[in-house]
Every structure is written in C-alpha cells, then in structure tokens.
Structure 1
Amino acid sequence: MRAGWFAEFGDASVMRVGERPAPGPPRGTQVLVGVEASSVNGTDLGLRRGDLPPVTWGRMPFVPGFDVAGRVLAVGPAATAFSPGDRVAALLPHRGGGLAEQVLVAQDRAARVPDGVAATDAAAVTLAGLTALQALHRQGRLRARRHADGGPPRVLVSGAAGGIGSFAVQLAALVGARVTGTTSAGKVAWVRDLGAHRVLDRRAGDRDAQLADAGPFDLVLDAAGRSRHRELAPVLARGGIVVSVRPLHPDVLRSLRPGRGDFTAVRTAARSADLAALLHLVATGRLRVPVEHVVGLDDVAQAHELAETEGRGKVVVDLTT
C-alpha cells in the first residue's frame, strides 16, 4: 500500500511517499479501514522534528497520522459495531499509521460518519475536535459554570485560530458561553467568524488591558500550550480553571493565587461517543470544520509545511487523489 513516512528527523522535506507493508487481517474487535483522508496535527509535526523520540524508537521508517476517515474493508471476528462498507472516522493510538491507504483500528476508537459529511471533514474533526470537546466539558466542566454576575460563563481560548482552538471557540459558543479568543492580527476576523464574541491580537501592546476588560474568565483554554503565567493569573475568575493541551511549567502553577482557580491538562481520549457527537454537529450544520488546505498524498511534505507555517485551521491529506 502507499503511505507517507519519514526515516529521519527534520523539516517537512524529510517526508516521503512510497510503498509500505499493508496491515494483516483484522483480529478481535479490530476493523480494517480503507483510508480516504488523514489530517495533520501538531503531534505529527513534533514526531517528524524529533521532539517525541520515544514514540518512534525502533520504528523507522515511521508512518505518522492519527486522524483517519474512510470505509470499513473487513472486520475482526469479535467486531460488532461496524460492517464492511460502513463510513467511519477514528482516532489512532500513539503508534500512528493513519497516513496510509489502509489501517487497523479497534472498533471502540471509531464512529460512523453521517451521510453528507465529507471524509476530509471527518478526518479533520477527530483529534482536534475531541481535544477541544474534552478540554471544555470533561476537564473544564463548562456546562456547570456561571459567571459571578449570574450570566453565562466567560471563556478565553488562547490560540483560537489553530485546529484545537477553532473547534473550542465554536463548541463553547454552542453552549452559550461568552467567548474571547486570542490570535495574531491577520486571523482576528476569521476567529470572530467562528463565533467568538471578542478577538484580541496576541501581540497588541494593550492586549493585557483588553484581557482584563473581557474577563475575568471562568475557563481559560490554552489551546496552543504556550500560555505564560503573566497572562493567566490576572484574568482567571475565583473558582475558575485553566485547561491546557500540555502541562504548564511550575512557575505558571505558582502564579495561580490560592482561591483564584485550578489547573488541569487535557489528555485526549478516543471516545466513540464523543466523536459521534462531534460528527453529528457537523452533519447538522452546527459545527464548522475549518479545513484550510486539502492536498494529495504525493504532496504530504507540502501538507506538513502548511500545517507548520500557517497556524490556521486544519490541513488534510486526501488519499483518494
């Protein structure tokens, strides 16, 4: 089968396309998926750069890819959730392998793709959408929060234009939260179009004053994993929470004054029910999938470069072209 892979760490130019061994028949509850689309995530970029070497030790050439969408080709003897021909999307474990024409997936990591949802959209929503959903509603308990004035909760999404951030803005707005997003100047209008009530240029000289005016926030989502303590502590409401896509440095934790809130990091889980809920929102037009670029498998190096440099929405590899 054809796949995208890298055999050494480096920039996007180390990505290659060629033949790799096809997976064997599905066993147990596995399903064999004919992959039609796979999106590029920050994890893929970090693995390619060598930022996460334990994942790739002894496994070069390494086929990245954690989001897949396609059709079930075969099912294992104990699989009960899907049949050949079903359209599915899935989040793969850390061994990756989604940037290939076929992949084995445990059925409890997959969900049906509704009619009318393109494979490119289904693949793009998987990891980023699950991370945003679980950060807001599982770690952040957004539905249970109210602002001190009795109004809707105030949510700050830092890195609002990225894959995770763009879903988080929409998901928070869907439950009535008042959403403020931070991004770079060229993406302000784009984030506002996603449903943010207020969008701040993260490089603006008066940004701290604008954050103070929009807050305090009942939930702060660090969607890019790069927030600094000086911007979190002053804007967090009493009893609020900071949720990050990665653990924050100890100085950030120390800066959160006693009684002013809590901190947690999201660890994305491949929950079929959560993925099905996201795909239903897409199918019913309530969740926009911010796919900015779709490229073919032969252009996978370009896909990685776009994902690394543009920082807006999602880049998807279409394996059918």
Structure 2
Amino acid sequence: MRVGCFAEFGDASVMRIEHRPDPGRPRGAELLVAVEASSINGTDLGLRRGDLPPATWGRMPFVPGFDLAGRVLAVGPAATAFSPGDRVAALLPHRGGGLAEQVLVGQDRAARIPEDVGAPEAAAVTLAGLTALQALHRQGRLRARTGPGGRPARVLVCGAAGGIGSLAVQLAALAGAEVVGTTSRDKLDWVRDLGVPRVLDRRADDLDRQLRDAGPFELVLDAAGRSRHRDLAPSLAPGGIVVSVRPLHPDVLRSLRPGRADFTAVRTAARSADLAHLLQLVATGRLRVPVEHVVRLGEVARAHQLAEAGGRGKVVVDLTA
C-alpha cells in the first residue's frame, strides 16, 4: 500500500510517498479500514517541522495523519459495533498513520458516517471537530455558563478561520452562545458567512478596545494556540475561563499552574459518541465543514504547503486517487 511520510524534519518538501506492506488482519476489537480521506492538521505540520517532543511520535520514516474516513474491510473477532462495508471516520492515536491506504484502528475510536456525508467532510471534521467540541463543552463547560441576568454566555474564538476555529464558532452558536471571532482582515467576511455576526481583525490597532466593547466573555477559546493568557485574561467575565487548543505551547504551560481556575488546555479524546454527534450535525446541515482543498496522496507535499499557508478551512488528502 502507499503511505505519505517523512524521514527527516523540514519544510513540506520532505514529505514523500513510500510503499509498505498492508497492515494485516485486525485483532481483538480492531477494524481494518480502506482509507478514502485524511485531513492535514496543525499537529501534522508541527511533527514534520520537528516542533513537538519526540515522545509524541514514532520511528522514522513517520506516517502522519490523525483522522481518517473510509470503509471497513474486515473486523477483529471482538469487534461488535461495525461490519465490513460500513463507512467510518476515526481518530487515530499519537502514533498517527492516517496517510495510508489501509489502517488498523480500534472500534472505540470510530463512528459510522451518515449516508449524506462525504469522505472529505468526515475526515476534516474528526480531529478539528472533536477538539472544538471538547474544548467548548468539556474543558469550557459552555452549557453551564450564562451571563448576568441569565443572558446567553458570550464566547470569543481566537483564530476563527482555522480548522478548529471555523467549527468552534458554529458549535458555540448551536449551543446558544453569543459568538465573537477574531481572524485576519482578509477572512472577516468568510467567517461572518459561517454565521458569526461579529468578527474582529486580530491585527487591528484598537483590538483591545473592540474586545472590551464586545465582552466580557464567559469563555475564550484560543483555537490557534498562539495567544498568551495575559493578553486574553482582561476579556474574561468574572468566573470565565480561557481554553487553549495547544497544551504544549510554552505560554500555555506557564499558565497551567496548579489551582488556576481561569485557564486550561484541551487534550482531544477519541470519543465515538462525540464523533457520531458531529457527523450527525454535518448530515443534517447544522454544521458546515469548510474544506478548501482536496489533494491526491501523490501530491502530499503540496497538501502540507497549502495547510501551512493558512487558508480558509481544511486541506484534505484523497487516498483513492
């Protein structure tokens, strides 16, 4: 089978195609999946650049890819939730491996893809969607938050045009929150089109004033993992919380001191129920998955280049072409 991998750290040009043996028969509760699509996430880019600690990845050459969509080829003897032929999406563990034509994955990491959802959308919503959903509702406890007088909670999403942010603004709105997003000037209208009435230019000279006018916020989600706590804390309402999507960022680690109640980081969990919920939202049209580019596996280096350029939505690799 073909895989997309890198054997050294560097820019997108280090990505290459290799041929490897098929993964073999599934054991236990594993599923053998013929992968149709996998999306590029920030974690993939950080691993390829060498930005993340060695403990987070396996041996070289390393096959990145943490989400996938495809069709079940075979099931292990203890697998009870799926059958051959089922369409599934899944979140893979830290060893990655999603940029491969076949993958073994535990059934507890997978969810069935509804008939009306395409493989690119299913792959694109998996890691980014799970991160957004869990940041808002597990770490951020959004449904338990309200403003003075019982008004809906106000949520600020920093990095609202990225893969995580573009889903987070929609999920927060679906939960009844008043949502404000920040992004670069050229993406303001695009984020507004996702249903966000107020979007601010993150490089505006008077951004602090605009945030004060729009807030205070019961929840601030740093969906890009770039903001510093001291920059976001003044926007918080009393009892509010900042949630970062990047636990390993130095500014995040400095803020995660014991007992701190106004700052936390999300560690995305492969919860089948959460993934099934996201896919159902996509199937019913309540959640839009912005897929900007779909690139063939043979052009995996270009896929990394596009993702690194920071466009509008997700870059997906098609493993069927």
TM-score between the two structures when normalised by the length of structure 1: 0.95
Structure-to-structure mapping, 1:79-118, within 5 angstroms: 79-118=79-118
Structure-to-structure mapping, 1:78-227, within 5 angstroms: 78-227=78-227
* Bigger mean CA deviation after superposition, 16-25 or 98-107: 16-25
Instruction: Extract unaligned runs of 5+ from structure 1.
Output: none
In structure 2, what is the equivalent of residue 306 of structure 1? 306
In structure 2, what is the equivalent of residue 315 of structure 1? 315
Q: Residue type of the partner of 2:168?
A: A
The count of aligned residue pairs is: 317
Residue 311 of structure 1 deviates from its aligned partner by 4.0
Distance 1:229 1:125 in 2: 27
Distance 1:19 1:249 in 2: 39
Identical counterparts, % of pairs: 80
Residue 115 of structure 1 deviates from its aligned partner by 0.2
User: Are the counterparts in 2 of residues 30 and 75 from structure 1 also a CA contact under 8 Å?
Assistant: yes
Residue 320 and residue 251 in structure 1: after superposition, are their counterparts in 2 closer, same or farther (change >3 A)?
closer
Distance 1:37 1:20 in 2: 18
User: Are the counterparts in 2 of residues 55 and 95 from structure 1 also a CA contact under 8 Å?
Assistant: no
Distance 1:149 1:212 in 2: 19
Structure-to-structure mapping, 1:34-45, within 5 angstroms: 34-45=34-45
Q: Give CA deviations for 1:59-93 in whole Å, capped at 9, x if unaligned.
A: 11111100100000000011001000000000000
Q: Give CA deviations for 1:156-195 in whole Å, capped at 9, x if unaligned.
A: 0011111110110000011111100010000101111112
In structure 2, what is the equivalent of residue 28 of structure 1? 28
In structure 2, what is the equivalent of residue 288 of structure 1? 288
Q: Give CA deviations for 1:263-315 in whole Å, capped at 9, x if unaligned.
A: 11110000000000000000000000010110000110010000001243100
Instruction: Indicate the SS of the match to 1:317.
Output: strand
Residue 151 and residue 206 in structure 1: after superposition, are their counterparts in 2 closer, same or farther (change >3 A)?
same
User: Are the counterparts in 1 of residues 295 and 318 from structure 2 also a CA contact under 8 Å?
Assistant: yes
Q: Give CA deviations for 1:213-272 in whole Å, capped at 9, x if unaligned.
A: 000000000111111234312110001111111234466569xxx99x611111000000
Residue 121 and residue 157 in structure 1: after superposition, are their counterparts in 2 closer, same or farther (change >3 A)?
same
User: Are the counterparts in 2 of residues 183 and 201 from structure 1 also a CA contact under 8 Å?
Assistant: yes
In structure 1, what is the equivalent of residue 263 of structure 2? 263
Instruction: Indicate the SS of the match to 2:61.
Output: coil
Instruction: Indicate the SS of the match to 2:150.
Output: coil
Instruction: Indicate the SS of the match to 1:27.
Output: coil
Distance 1:293 1:57 in 2: 26
In angstroms, what is the RMSD of aligned CA positions?
A: 1.7
Distance 1:3 1:249 in 2: 33
Instruction: Indicate the SS of the match to 1:114.
Output: coil
Distance 2:58 2:31 in 1: 25
Q: Residue type of the partner of 2:112?
A: R
